[in-house]
A = this chain, B = another copy of it.
Amino acid sequence: MQISKQTPSQQIEKIYDVLVIGGGAAGLSAGIYLQRYLLSTLVIDKGKARSLWMQELHNYLGLPPNTPGRDVLKQGKEHYLSLAGDYLNAYVEEVMDEGETFAVRVRIGRSHPTAVVFRSRYLIAASGIIDHLPKLDDMQNVFDYAGHNLHVCLICDGYEMRDQRAGVFGSSESSLEVAFSLGWFTPHITLFTNGEFAVGAAFRDRLTAQSYTLVEQPIARFLGENHQMTGVELADSSVVELDTGLVSMGSKYHADYLKNIDLEYQGGNLITDNMNRTSHPRIFAVGDLKLGMNQVVIAAADGALAATQIWRDIRRSEGARRSPISSSVA
């Protein structure tokens, strides 16, 4: 059930089998599998899952190719709640490993936040990432187009950009490398540094070889209407007309709450085994936070894998039968 600040004390005192941090595609899929394994689960979501930005999910088997990301999450949350899973809107501040259990301190509410501690035997880190966007004075101007035709994922949206005039917005020379892969879909590419970093001679030569344009002026604003970006106005008021854009500025990894636990990372991504177990035997990582491709369908599969492995672990340690009380959920 949806729980809140007025959470009954039995939720707070209970030790969940699994606490899932993040209610995006990976976390909800894990929650659905876990509840179906008769494991008690709490999904904690802070809102703003990356997939909420997706206006159209084009490559998820079984759903029409223009399904908004939020529809998938809405269906997934309903599905999870229908299986009697607990769900809380809150921000996870810190996870403490107590040996047999984890203590997870969360902050509920914005204006008058309450700190509450939940406990579980296993943890699934499903809190994902969020893309850095170009930093303009008016960020609303960026939000107007991000997730519409200002994309953040070449694999997801390269097809939509084919043969279009595409802008690539980077935060470093290496982040602009994506332009050469985008070249698979369109030859009409302009790269933007927003005046924030320098580009070396060797890189310029490669751009010239592909007939790509490099713009090093600061960006004043994106142009367009109805969430369709049509170009960029630069600091000197000149305009670069575009049909589409790709932001490649790295991501923020939502894993600060794990800072006191020693885990193996590659860059910001958690390293996991083929069932999505991290280097800690009772912590799993799924979706964009773990090393691998950032795709909704892969996140959903990740959740299934982690949940199944946790079920196997618990089943083997407890023996064949869950107690009738636990198995009577839903």
Residues of A within 8 A of B (CB): 25, 28-29, 32-33, 36-38, 58-65, 67, 71-72, 75-76, 79, 82-83, 155, 158-159, 162-163, 180-181, 183-185, 187, 210, 274, 292-293, 295, 297-298, 300-305, 308, 311, 315, 320-322, 324, 327-328
User: In the complex, what residues of B have CB within 8 A of residue A305's CB?
Assistant: 293, 298
B38 contacts A65, C-beta separation under 8 Å:
no
CA distance A304 to B67 in the complex (A): 18
Name the residue in A33, A36, A76, A181 with the highest tally of chain B Cβ atoms < 10 Å from its Cβ.
Answer: A36
User: In the complex, what residues of B have CB within 8 A of residue A64's CB?
Assistant: 75, 79
CB-contact partner of A62 in B63, B322, B324, under 8 A: B63
CA distance A65 to B65 in the complex (A): 20
How close is A314's CB to chain B, nearest CB, in angstroms?
Answer: 9
CA distance A199 to B259 in the complex (A): 53
A62 contacts B60, C-beta separation under 8 Å:
yes
| A304-B298, A315-B184 known; A59 vs B76 contact (CB < 8 Å) | no
Copies of this chain present: 2
User: In the complex, what residues of B have CB within 8 A of residue A38's CB?
Assistant: 159, 162, 184-185
CB-contact partner of A304 in B83, B293, B328, under 8 A: B293
B320 contacts A180, C-beta separation under 8 Å:
yes
CB-contact partner of A308 in B65, B210, B293, B322, under 8 A: B293
User: In the complex, what residues of B have CB within 8 A of residue A58's CB?
Assistant: 36
How close is A62's CB to chain B, nearest CB, in angstroms?
Answer: 4
How close is A158's CB to chain B, nearest CB, in angstroms?
Answer: 7
Chain B residue nearest to A36 (CB atoms) is: B159
A62 contacts B76, C-beta separation under 8 Å:
yes
A61 contacts B65, C-beta separation under 8 Å:
no
User: In the complex, what residues of B have CB within 8 A of residue A79's CB?
Assistant: 61, 64-65
B308 contacts A301, C-beta separation under 8 Å:
no
User: In the complex, what residues of B have CB within 8 A of residue A210's CB?
Assistant: 320
